[in-house]
Structure formats: C-alpha cells, structure tokens
Chains A and B, each alone.
Chain A
C-alpha cells in the first residue's frame, strides 16, 4: 500500500499547474528529490490554488461548519452564516452551485437545522449537501435527510465529476449499551476531544462499493472532485480528523490521476496529497480549531495564529473558480486575513507556536459515568 501511494509517479496530475496567488514550499524545493516531492511542492498560500482541469469557465462555493445554535443562545454564528450567504449570493459571475459541507447545526436540534435551512434559502443557485456529525446524531439523520436529501450523490458538471460522500453516519454504536438518551448521544458526538464516540468518521463498505461503481464509468484521467466532511486521510484520529478506512478509499481511487478532495471538519487551512489525490481543508464560519498537537502534513503551510478576541478571524468560506484557461482556483475567503493568510515565522504560525506543547487526553471518558460532554 505504502509503495503504491508513495511511488515516484504517484502525484496529482502534472497538468494541474498552480499559477496564481500560490506558494511554492521552499523546503520542498531545496529538499528536492530527497523529499520525493519535486513535482508537487505546491501549497495554497494566499487564498488560491489553481488546478488545470475542466473545460468551461465556472465557479462554485463551499460553505460549512456554521455550527448554528438556536438564535436565543447565540447570534454570533447566525450573523457569520448570514454574511457568508450574502457574499456567496453576491459572487459575480455567480456560482454554478453551492456545496454545504456539513455541521450546519451544533447539537443536531431541529430548531438549529431549520434555522440553517432558512438562511441558506437566500442562495438561489443549486445547492448540494453532505452532513457533519453535529447534524446527525440527535435523531440519526432523520431531520437532515428530510431537509437536504440523501447521500452519497454524484453529478457531472462541465467536464468534472462531483461526488458527495457521507463520512459521519457510520459510527460505532456507543449509546445502546450505555442506555444514552439521544441528547447524550449527540453531546458525546459533539465533543471533539471526547473519545466515547470512538472512530466514528468513515466511508463504510457499502459507500465504498458505491464510490467504486460511480468512478467505474469515468475515465481515469478526467477530473474528479470528492466532497467529504472529514479529510480522506489520517491527520489526527483523536479528533476524527480522518476517515478510519482512508486506506481503502485510496485503493478505490488508485489509477485516477486527477482527484481533488475538498473537506470541512478541521476548521483550518490544510493541504495534503496521498498518491494522486489532493485534499484541501476548508474554513469554518463559526470558529477555528487549533492545528493537531502532533503536527500537520508536510505540505501544509499553517494559517496565521488566530486572534480569539475577533470573531471574524480565522474563519470564512471558500470559492472555487474554474477559469476560461481551464484552471481551477480554490480561494479561502478568510474574513480578517486577506493579504497574509499564512504564518511564515514560527511565532506567527498557527502550528509553529506549539513546539513545546505536550498534551494528555482527558480523563472524562475513562471512567463511568462519563462526564463533561456537551449538553
């Protein structure tokens, strides 16, 4: 598996030239062949990564991780979601579609999901949805599916096959034996640094089979964009910054030379490549998560340290543009940091400031009754 994924030729298609508002990872260039990364030492720096694929000019928007509470609890997240929606509707030329990447709600409350659906009604272009864990585990997706339909799905648009996967609903049953109420189940799921819900993020065999079939009718050198809530690789399992069956996913993707995975959940600027697949992490509108304690993929340049006193710092949405020159740009629309998204010096970097930090997972889930989950 490692040999397959890390073979010298196993990099994203070279035609995906990154041309504008991008950053060349200096360490990879100097490391050259020893890093085995001579052809893919590219990172999203300021906002944008250009990928050369597709045929006709178009753009689409990504919005996710709004984590809405009922309005009487928190209006801050509502305001930011409304702002993102206004900006998306103001895109000129307009987006061909909006992908909502999950975690519309904070605790899966129907009031929260309805509020999100109401706000998103303002977006008149086509909308497609994939769920996050916060949307699902109160009623096991009943309300979500009623509002936004079922996943997975796929559609072809101007030369690109777009696929939406559900990486959240196939978690292990951690509630029945413990006789949890739906609210308790949701609370444990919503606690990122809890371990009760276990390795809940996954694609699952049935969906993997569906993915294989869906890709089977697509030429291997043609572009594929896969939307997921969780990243399709192992970044930091304790916070489910992964899917547990990512190796099998990449077995299915093997041979497809032009695959881009766009994901939410991590609430941060993030970039990685596994074999011929690149993964790009998107921002939340709600709040930024810290980078994983054990570090980030070598290809990631971390965003600037976030100012927790500014609700609009470190958050935003993204727009992805396919230019007339048949290139696609992924642009982070981070509200506070437009010119200097990436922290170059360690003292400025969202991950570089943690060099002396060692963390211990909580005691809260190691004894019964568990304590400290969100309610």
Chain B
C-alpha cells in the first residue's frame, strides 16, 4: 500500500511537472515560429508611430501635446532647441548618477527634470504614453550609440 501511495504521489508530481513544462513549451513554441514579413512590419510600424509622436512632442507640437494632455514647456522652448537630433540626451548612458537631480536616475527621470526645470512644464507620469513616445524618439535618434551605462 505504501509503495502504491508513493507511486501515486510520483505520478501526480510528474503529471503536474509535465503540465507546467508543456505550458511553458507552448509559449516557447509560439515564439519560435518564423516571423512573417507582415508581422515584422507591424512591429516596426508600432515603434515608428511612437517615434513620430515623440518627435512631435520633442519639437513642441501643440496639437500633439493637446491630444496627449501634456504641457511640456511654458517658456516657448522645446526639447529640440537644446537637443537637435536628440543630441546630448545620452540615452545609452542611463541609468546613472545624475548631477542635476542629485540621485541615481533613469532616462525618464531626466526627461521629467528637463520638462520641469529648464522648460517649466508639467512632468509626465513615468509610464504615460507621452513619456514612452519621447523615449522612443530619443532612443531611435541615438541608435547605434555605444551602450555605456553609468558614464558621466
């Protein structure tokens, strides 16, 4: 009887393990299908759409700001006026200690600091659509830069 009980327990454990493993494999297999050109284009389109929204915000476009309910500047200054081509934004260097903020900071922290301090605007929620779009534009503009986290 004892052996039978052990046997049942082992079968149950194995069964559960198989279920877990199979579920995992299902997910893994789903991503191992070859991507179709349509899929890849869709992924790219989603990204580029956000890059363009971010570019508009970065260049102070009032209509886009209104649509997203943001006010990134009250001075007439746009991000791009100090950062043409998103130059000097250094997304590849974050996270790092950021002197102006006096803390270990992410790119999103720095974006919000620029909005609040030099531009005297209203900072964004960290996971807002506008923040993600700005991040998309800044990263896209700096593609190919050498990843150099922590560099001052």
Binding site for B on A (CB under 8 A): 69, 73-74, 76, 106, 191-193, 238-239, 287-290, 293, 307-309, 311, 347, 353-354, 356-364, 371-375
Given contacts A73-B75, A238-B85, A374-B59, 5 further A-B contacts (CB under 8 A): A191-B59, A193-B84, A353-B152, A356-B146, A357-B92
Contact of A74 among B61, B75, B113, B152 (CB under 8 A): B75
Q: Are A358 and B144 in contact (CB under 8 A)?
A: yes
Q: Are A308 and B114 in contact (CB under 8 A)?
A: yes
- Nearest-neighbour CB distance to chain B for A357, whole angstroms, equals 5
B152, closest chain A residue (CB) = A347
Q: Are B77 and A374 in contact (CB under 8 A)?
A: no
Contact flag A363-B51 (CB < 8 Å), given A74-B77, A374-B60:
yes
* A353–B81 CA distance with the chains assembled, in angstroms: 19
* A193–B88 CA distance with the chains assembled, in angstroms: 13
Binding site for A on B (CB under 8 A): 48, 51-52, 55-56, 58-62, 75-78, 80-88, 90, 92-93, 100, 113-114, 117-118, 140-146, 148, 151-152
Chain B contacts of A372 at CB under 8 A?
Answer: 52, 55-56, 58-59, 61
Q: Are B83 and A290 in contact (CB under 8 A)?
A: yes
- Nearest-neighbour CB distance to chain A for B98, whole angstroms, equals 11
B62, closest chain A residue (CB) = A375
* A308–B83 CA distance with the chains assembled, in angstroms: 11
Contact of B84 among A69, A76, A192, A347 (CB under 8 A): A192
Chain A contacts of B88 at CB under 8 A?
Answer: 290, 353-354, 357
**Can you list 23 A-B contacts with CB-CB less than 8 angstroms, sorted by A residue number?**
A73-B75, A191-B59, A191-B80, A239-B84, A287-B82, A290-B88, A308-B114, A309-B100, A309-B118, A311-B118, A356-B93, A356-B146, A357-B88, A358-B143, A358-B145, A359-B87, A359-B142, A359-B145, A360-B142, A362-B85, A364-B52, A371-B61, A375-B62
Q: Are A363 and B117 in contact (CB under 8 A)?
A: no
- Nearest-neighbour CB distance to chain B for A238, whole angstroms, equals 8
Contact flag A293-B82 (CB < 8 Å), given A73-B76, A363-B51, A363-B52:
no
* A365–B50 CA distance with the chains assembled, in angstroms: 16
Q: Are A293 and B61 in contact (CB under 8 A)?
A: no
Contact of B145 among A106, A288, A357 (CB under 8 A): A357
* A239–B87 CA distance with the chains assembled, in angstroms: 12
A308, closest chain B residue (CB) = B118
* A238–B102 CA distance with the chains assembled, in angstroms: 35
* A153–B69 CA distance with the chains assembled, in angstroms: 50
What are the 6 tightest A-B residue pairs by CB atom distance, in nearest-first order?
A: A193-B84, A356-B146, A358-B144, A74-B76, A290-B88, A359-B85
B101, closest chain A residue (CB) = A309
Q: Are B142 and A308 in contact (CB under 8 A)?
A: no
B120, closest chain A residue (CB) = A76
Chain B contacts of A74 at CB under 8 A?
Answer: 75-77
Contact of A360 among B58, B60, B75, B141 (CB under 8 A): B141
* A290–B48 CA distance with the chains assembled, in angstroms: 26
Q: Are A357 and B52 in contact (CB under 8 A)?
A: no
Chain B contacts of A106 at CB under 8 A?
Answer: 76
Q: Are A290 and B118 in contact (CB under 8 A)?
A: no
Contact of A375 among B61, B84, B93 (CB under 8 A): B61
Q: Are A358 and B76 in contact (CB under 8 A)?
A: no
- Nearest-neighbour CB distance to chain B for A315, whole angstroms, equals 11
B88, closest chain A residue (CB) = A290
* A271–B118 CA distance with the chains assembled, in angstroms: 28
- Nearest-neighbour CB distance to chain A for B60, whole angstroms, equals 7
Q: Are A373 and B85 in contact (CB under 8 A)?
A: no
Contact of B142 among A357, A361, A373, A375 (CB under 8 A): A357
* A76–B74 CA distance with the chains assembled, in angstroms: 11
A367, closest chain B residue (CB) = B52
* A353–B93 CA distance with the chains assembled, in angstroms: 11
- Nearest-neighbour CB distance to chain B for A290, whole angstroms, equals 4
Contact of B48 among A287, A311, A347, A363 (CB under 8 A): A363
- Nearest-neighbour CB distance to chain B for A103, whole angstroms, equals 12
Chain A contacts of B148 at CB under 8 A?
Answer: 356
* A44–B118 CA distance with the chains assembled, in angstroms: 29
Q: Are B55 and A362 in contact (CB under 8 A)?
A: yes
* A10–B38 CA distance with the chains assembled, in angstroms: 60
- Nearest-neighbour CB distance to chain A for B82, whole angstroms, equals 6
Q: Are B100 and A373 in contact (CB under 8 A)?
A: no
